[in-house]
Each structure stands twice: as C-alpha cells, then as structure tokens.
Structure 1
Amino acid sequence: MKNFIQEFKNFAIKGNMIDMAIGIIIGTAFNNVVNTIVKKVVMPPLSLLTDGVNLANRKLVLRDASDTAEEVAMGYGELVEALIDFGIIALTIFLVLKGINRFRDKAENPEDTEVTTPKNIELLSNMEKLMKEQNELLRDLKK
C-alpha cells in the first residue's frame, strides 16, 4: 500500500496529472472551435447543396406522429455533423503530430547541424561511434 501511495504522489507531483488536465482543457476548447466551424462554416454550404435543408435536422421518420403516439425518427443529420467534427479533429491532430515528429526526428539526428541535438541523443551517438571503433579494434586483434 505504501508503494501505491508513493507512486501516486510521484505521478501527481511530477506533472503527469497537470499535463493531462491541461490537455483535457485545451481539447475541450478545441472541440468548441471545431463545433463552431462545422455548424457555422461547413454546414451552410452543404445545406445549399441539399436545397436549403438544414442537415442537422435531417431524419428518417420510422413512424409519423398521430393522436395516440409520438413521432419515431432516426436523426442522421446530427450523425453527419458529428462525423465531420471527428474528421476535422482527427485531421488536425494528425497534422500536428506529423509536424512534431518531423521536428523531433530532426532534433534526434546527430548528423543534422541545422537543429541542436539534445545531449542524451548526442551522448548515445558518441557511445555508438566508440563501440564501433572498439569492435573494429577487437576484430583487428583477432586477425
């Protein structure tokens, strides 16, 4: 139990929980931006293509309303909007991660002089070179 409490303290104090909270807050704000873009920018032109019908209100009526029963309908228009939201969010995350990975790959490449290589990558690269030299020397000694 003591290890569990210590692990939780390390998790909370080292910033993982704070980073996660910040990510959730930013994600929520980003979701609001995407919803607005979809509803106010993307959907109006799509509605024009469907003769001015608001796509969010589109539904497949399974049973019409009557005096004794309510209408039963599947609202596929909201699903279309949600899929467009998802597509925009997925594309944006993909593009951001692609950019981050490109910069990380450049930073981790010890031969790339354009970007400063982090010390740990530089040290590992130096160790690799030394090990190759050592292996070559050992091979020469065995011959």
Structure 2
Amino acid sequence: MLKEFREFALRGNMVDLAIGIIIGAAFSGLVQSIVNDIIMPIIGRITGGIDFTNKYIQLAGDPQPTLDAARKAGATIAYGNFLTLVINFIIIAWILFMIVKGMNTMKRQQKADPAPAATPEDVALLREIRDLLATRK
C-alpha cells in the first residue's frame, strides 16, 4: 500500500500539479500586489479618493454613518464591496490577459524562427557530385 501511494504521489502529473499550485499561489500574491499597490492608488487618484468598500444602501432602520452600524441596524445592501471586487477582478483579468498574450507572442516567435534543418547526408553527397559534374563541362 505504501508503494502504491508513493507511485501515485510521485506520478508526473501530480508533481506538475503541485508545482503549478505553488507557482499559482506566488503569482497570486504578485498580481494582488500589482492591483493593490500600483493600480488601485492610480484609480483612487483618478476618482478623487472614493473608497467604494463602505458604500451601501440601507433598506431598514434609521440612516447610519458606517457600514457596520447600518448592518447592525437592519437590512443593508453593501454594493461598495461588490464594486471593489468587480474592479479588482477586471484589473486582474486584464493583467493575466496581457501576460498570456505576451507569452503567446514569444512562443509564436520561437516557432517562426526555427533553425534551418540540417541537410541529410545523402542529399549533401548528391549535391556535391552534381557540382563536380557541372565544373567538368
């Protein structure tokens, strides 16, 4: 049973999947940093510093100054957090699209510039004979 588990755990696909998950977690941190530390401050500057996370519509009770107080007071639609997550999703999707597009461009360039194939030995020998015969005339 231990041998079977070892074969299962060390199977090529399983190791590739584990590596993909680890790299994905690291990449997720990188993308989150790009969004939170670079892009969102720019968007905040453009929108005049509006913080969408605390935007809400109170459906019941008296109007409250904060989202937490409004939630305690009654039914509340907290649309601001949803808007923030939608903006983050769009930004992250755009960044991933640009990365994948760049990778695909590099792959196409590699395929477009293949090294010339070596001439087979018999073809090279026949060309040499042809050239020798052409010089004798």
Query: TM range, normalised to the smaller chain?
Result: 0.5 to 0.7
Find the counterpart in structure 2 of residue 10 from structure 1: 11
2:60 alignment partner, one of 59, 63, 72: 63
Give the TM-score taking structure 1 as reference length: 0.58
Q: In the TM superposition, what is the alpha-carbon distance from 1:100 to its structure 2 partner?
A: 0.6
Q: In the TM superposition, what is the alpha-carbon distance from 1:23 to its structure 2 partner?
A: 2.2
Q: Which runs of 5+ in 1 are unaligned?
A: 127-143
Find the counterpart in structure 2 of residue 54 from structure 1: 51
For the residues of structure 2 that align with 1:3 and 1:97, how far apart are their CA atoms? 37
Residue identity opposite 1:54 in structure 2? D
For the residues of structure 2 that align with 1:29 and 1:101, how far apart are their CA atoms? 20
Change (3 A) 1:14 1:63: closer
The answer to which of 84-93 and 54-63 deviates more is 54-63
Q: In the TM superposition, what is the alpha-carbon distance from 1:27 to its structure 2 partner?
A: 1.1
2:108 alignment partner, one of 95, 105, 108: 105
The answer to which of 70-79 and 6-15 deviates more is 6-15
Q: In the TM superposition, what is the alpha-carbon distance from 1:88 to its structure 2 partner?
A: 0.8
Pairwise CA RMSD of aligned residues? 3.3
Find the counterpart in structure 1 of residue 22 from structure 2: 21
SS of the residue corresponding to residue 73 of structure 2 reads coil
For the residues of structure 2 that align with 1:7 and 1:103, how far apart are their CA atoms? 34
Bigger relative contact order, structure 1 or 2 (CA pairs below 8 A, ≥6 apart): 2
What does 1:23-102 correspond to in 2, within 5 Å?
A: 23-37=24-38, 39-46=40-47, 48=48, 54-65=51-62, 70-102=73-105
Q: Which runs of 5+ in 2 are unaligned?
A: 64-71, 120-137
